[in-house]
C-alpha cells in the first residue's frame, strides 16, 4: 500500500478527507471528476435513517435546500444513493462561520456589519418568497465563502408553509422572537426578521442584546424587548434595530421596510432576481422512495506510484450553537456534574438514539467527537429547576432502549447534574 494511491469514487465524484462529522453524517471533501470542481459531500447511513425513522425530516431538509437557489444560501447540487449510504452534494464553503469571525474580532465595523446584514436580508426574503421559513437564524448558521460573502446554511429546523403561520416552538433562546414562545402560533416571516435584528446587533456590538442567567428572566426580557444599544452604534443603526426588535409582530418592521431604510440602503447592491431555476426534485424522490435499490456505483481504485490518500478524521463542529449550561448556574460556587447512565450499546448507537429522542422533543443536538450538546427552547415559565427536572425525566424515559442500569439522581441535586445535558 505504501507505493499506491487509493482513490474512492462515488458516481463521478472523487472522495477525499473527512472535514466534518455529526451524530448522523460525515462531511467529506470531494471533486467532480467531470468538471474538476471541489464540493462538500455529506454522507448519511441508510440503516440509521431507516432504524430511527428520520426519512421524513431529512427528506424535508434536502428538498428545501434544493428549492432555495440564491447566491447567499449554501447550494445543494444533487442527491445520490449508494447501496448503504446517501450522498448529498453541497457547495464547498471555506471561509468558516460568521460566529468565529465575531469571536476573533469582538465586533465588526459598521460598514462590514451592514454588508452581511444586507446579504442576510436578501437571502431570507428569497426564502420567504418560496414559502420557506428558516426558524434558527444565528451567526453559527451563517458561513462565509472565500470572497467574504455570507451563505445561509442549516435548514434542519426550517419548514414550508403556504401562509407562513406556524406553531412549533423551536430555535435558539437568545435569537428567538417573543411570539414563538407563546402557544398561539406565529408568522414565520416576522420571526425570522426578529432573528435577523438580533444578528445585526451581535455583529456591531460583539455581544447579545438579550442575555440572562436563567431562561424565564431571559424570556421576560425578550417579550418586553428590554435592551439598549451601545454608544458606538450610529443613530441610523439604532433606529433600524429598535424597529426590528419590536415585540409586537404586527408592528415589527418587515423586509420591505428594512429595504426602504436609509441606513440599510447605504452601499446596498440588490441581488437581481432573474428567472427562477427549474428545480427538479426527482433525485430526492428517487433516493427516499426507493431507498433499498436506487444507487450509484461506489468503488476504490489504486494507481501505482502515488502517495497513499488517507482520511484525517477531523472532527469539526458545523454549527456550534448555544451552551445552555450557563443559563442555569446563578452562582460560581456551584459544582457542575454530569448525569450518567450505563449502556451496553455501541457509542454510535447511543449518540444516534439520543439524536432521535431529542428531535422528537423538539431539541437540537450538536455533536463533537462523541460529545453531545442539546439545544432548544421552552415556553414554560416555571422555575429553572422545574424546567430542567422535567426535561431530565422526559429524556431519560425515552432512552430506555439504550440504558442498561440508570443511576438515580436525587431531586436536590437534579438541577446541578442535568445542566450539562
Q: How far apart are alpha carbons 360 and 377 in whole angstroms? A: 14
Q: What pLDDT was estimated at residue 170? A: 86
Judgement on whether residues 252 and 132 belong to the same structural domain of the protein: yes
Q: How far apart are alpha carbons 226 and 206 in whole angstroms? A: 18
Summarised one tens digit per residue, pLDDT across range 279-309 is 667 667 666 666 644 455 555 554 444 433 3
CATH number at residue 81: 3.30.200.20
Percentage of the chain with pLDDT > 70? 71
> In terms of DSSP H, where are the helices of 52-174?
55-67, 98-105, 110-129
Judgement on whether residues 155 and 224 belong to the same structural domain of the protein: yes
Q: What pLDDT was estimated at residue 405? A: 45
Any residues with CB less than 8 A from the CB of 94 and at least 6 apart, and which? 145, 146
pLDDT band at 21 (very low <50, low <70, confident <90, very high): confident
Judgement on whether residues 41 and 145 belong to the same structural domain of the protein: no
Residue 310 forms part of a structural domain: no
Total length of the chain = 421
pLDDT band at 328 (very low <50, low <70, confident <90, very high): very low
Q: Exposure pattern of 106-127 as b/e (b: 16+ CB <10 Å)?
A: ebbebeebbbbbbbbbbbbbbb
pLDDT band at 275 (very low <50, low <70, confident <90, very high): low
For residues 71 and 56, the answer to whether their CB atoms sit within 8 Å is no
Summarised one tens digit per residue, pLDDT across range 214-253 is 888 999 999 999 999 999 999 999 999 999 999 999 999 9
- For the record, the C-alpha cell of 284 comes out as 430526492
User: Could you tell me whether strands 85-91 and 76-81 are parallel, antiparallel, or unpaired per DSSP bridges?
Assistant: antiparallel
For the ranges 48-62, 127-141, 174-188, the lowest mean pLDDT is seen at 48-62
Judgement on whether residues 73 and 111 belong to the same structural domain of the protein: no
Judgement on whether residues 144 and 217 belong to the same structural domain of the protein: yes
Q: What pLDDT was estimated at residue 312? A: 34
Q: Does 42 show up as a binding residue in the annotation? A: yes
**Which one-letter DSSP state was computed for residue 7?**
E
Q: What pLDDT was estimated at residue 256? A: 96
Residue 311 forms part of a structural domain: no
Judgement on whether residues 285 and 252 belong to the same structural domain of the protein: no
Judgement on whether residues 45 and 80 belong to the same structural domain of the protein: yes
Q: What pLDDT was estimated at residue 336? A: 38
Any residues with CB less than 8 A from the CB of 8 and at least 6 apart, and which? 14, 15, 298, 299, 300
CATH number at residue 260: 1.10.510.10
Judgement on whether residues 25 and 113 belong to the same structural domain of the protein: no
Q: Report which of residues 327 and 250 the model is more confident about.
A: 250
Q: Which residues are catalytic?
A: 136
Mean per-residue pLDDT over the chain, rounded: 78
Residue 315 forms part of a structural domain: no
Does the pLDDT of residue 110 top 80, yes or no?
yes
Q: Report which of residues 55 and 368 the model is more confident about.
A: 55
Does the pLDDT of residue 30 top 90, yes or no?
yes
Q: What is the mean pLDDT of residues 156-175?
A: 88
- For the record, the C-alpha cell of 99 comes out as 460566529
Judgement on whether residues 366 and 253 belong to the same structural domain of the protein: no
Residue 329 forms part of a structural domain: yes
Closest CA to 200 of 166, 171, 234, 164: 234
Q: How far apart are alpha carbons 123 and 49 in whole angstroms? A: 30
CATH number at residue 406: 3.30.310.80
Does the pLDDT of residue 3 top 90, yes or no?
no
Any residues with CB less than 8 A from the CB of 59 and at least 6 apart, and which? 284, 288
Q: How many CB atoms lie within 10 A of CB 412?
A: 9
Summarised one tens digit per residue, pLDDT across range 189-219 is 999 999 999 999 999 999 999 998 888 899 9
pLDDT band at 91 (very low <50, low <70, confident <90, very high): very high
Quote the number of domains for the chain: 3
Residue 319 forms part of a structural domain: no
Q: Report which of residues 208 and 381 the model is more confident about.
A: 208
Judgement on whether residues 114 and 203 belong to the same structural domain of the protein: yes
- For the record, the C-alpha cell of 410 comes out as 436525587
Q: How far apart are alpha carbons 182 and 195 in whole angstroms? A: 16
The 3-state DSSP class for residue 328 equals coil
Residue 191 forms part of a structural domain: yes
The 3-state DSSP class for residue 238 equals helix
pLDDT band at 379 (very low <50, low <70, confident <90, very high): low
Residue 316 forms part of a structural domain: no
Judgement on whether residues 243 and 288 belong to the same structural domain of the protein: no
Does the pLDDT of residue 40 top 70, yes or no?
yes
β-sheet with 13-21: strand ranges across:
76-81, 85-91, 38-45, 25-32, 13-21, 4-10, 298-304
What domain range is 181 assigned to?
Answer: 98-265
The torsion angles phi and psi of 43, rounded to 5 degrees, stand at -110, 120
pLDDT band at 339 (very low <50, low <70, confident <90, very high): low
Summarised one tens digit per residue, pLDDT across range 124-153 is 999 999 999 999 999 999 999 999 999 999
Judgement on whether residues 8 and 85 belong to the same structural domain of the protein: yes
Summarised one tens digit per residue, pLDDT across range 387-415 is 555 666 677 777 767 775 433 333 333 32
Residue 189 forms part of a structural domain: yes
For the ranges 93-97, 263-267, 308-312, 367-371, the lowest mean pLDDT is seen at 308-312
Amino acid at each position: 500500500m505504501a507505493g499506491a494511491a487509493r482513490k474512492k469514487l462515488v458516481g463521478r465524484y472523487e472522495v477525499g478527507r473527512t472535514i466534518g462529522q455529526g451524530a448522523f453524517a460525515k462531511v467529506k471533501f470531494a471533486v467532480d471528476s467531470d468538471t474538476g470542481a471541489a464540493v462538500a459531500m455529506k454522507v448519511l447511513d441508510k440503516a440509521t435513517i431507516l432504524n430511527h425513522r428520520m426519512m421524513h425530516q431529512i427528506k424535508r431538509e434536502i428538498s428545501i435546500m434544493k428549492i432555495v437557489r440564491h447566491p447567499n444560501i449554501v447550494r445543494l447540487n444533487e442527491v445520490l444513493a449508494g447501496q448503504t449510504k446517501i450522498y448529498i452534494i453541497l457547495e464547498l464553503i471555506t471561509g468558516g462561520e460568521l460566529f468565529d469571525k465575531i469571536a476573533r474580532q469582538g465586533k465588526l465595523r459598521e460598514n462590514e456589519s451592514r454588508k452581511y446584514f444586507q446579504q442576510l436580508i436578501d437571502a431570507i426574503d428569497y426564502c420567504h418568497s418560496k414559502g420557506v421559513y428558516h426558524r434558527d437564524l444565528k451567526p453559527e448558521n451563517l458561513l462565509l465563502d472565500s470572497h467574504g460573502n455570507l451563505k445561509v446554511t442549516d435548514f434542519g429546523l426550517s419548514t414550508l408553509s403556504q401562509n407562513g403561520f406556524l406553531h412549533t416552538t423551536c430555535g435558539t433562546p437568545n435569537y428567538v422572537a417573543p411570539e414563538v414562545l407563546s402557544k398561539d402560533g406565529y408568522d414565520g416571516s416576522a420571526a425570522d426578521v426578529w432573528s435577523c435584528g438580533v444578528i445585526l446587533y451581535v455583529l456591531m456590538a460583539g455581544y447579545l442584546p438579550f442575555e440572562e442567567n436563567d431562561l424565564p428572566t431571559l424570556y421576560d426580557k425578550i417579550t418586553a424587548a428590554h435592551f439598549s444599544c451601545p454608544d458606538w452604534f450610529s443613530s441610523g443603526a439604532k433606529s433600524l434595530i429598535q424597529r426590528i426588535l419590536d415585540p409586537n409582530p404586527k408592528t415589527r418592521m418587515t423586509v420591505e421596510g428594512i429595504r426602504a431604510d436609509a441606513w440599510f440602503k447605504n452601499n446596498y447592491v440588490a441581488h437581481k432576481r432573474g428567472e427562477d431555476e427549474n428545480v427538479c426534485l426527482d433525485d430526492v424522490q428517487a433516493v427516499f422512495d426507493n431507498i433499498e435499490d436506487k444507487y450509484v456505483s461506489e468503488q476504490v481504485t489504486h494507481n501505482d506510484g502515488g502517495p497513499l490518500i488517507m482520511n484525517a478524521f477531523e472532527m469539526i463542529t458545523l454549527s456550534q450553537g448555544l451552551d445552555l449550561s450557563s443559563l442555569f448556574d446563578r452562582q460560581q460556587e456551584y459544582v457542575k456534574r454530569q448525569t450518567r447512565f450505563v449502556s451496553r450499546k455501541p457509542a454510535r448507537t447511543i449518540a444516534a438514539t439520543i439524536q432521535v429522542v431529542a428531535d422528537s422533543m423538539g431539541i437540537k443536538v450538536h455533536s463533537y467527537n462523541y460529545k453531545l450538546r442539546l439545544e432548544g427552547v421552552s415556553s414554560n415559565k416555571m422555575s429553572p429547576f422545574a424546567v430542567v427536572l422535567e426535561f431530565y425525566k422526559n429524556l431519560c424515559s425515552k432512552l430506555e432502549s439504550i440504558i442498561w442500569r440508570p443511576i438515580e439522581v436525587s431531586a436536590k441535586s437534579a438541577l446541578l447534574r442535568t445542566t450539562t445535558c
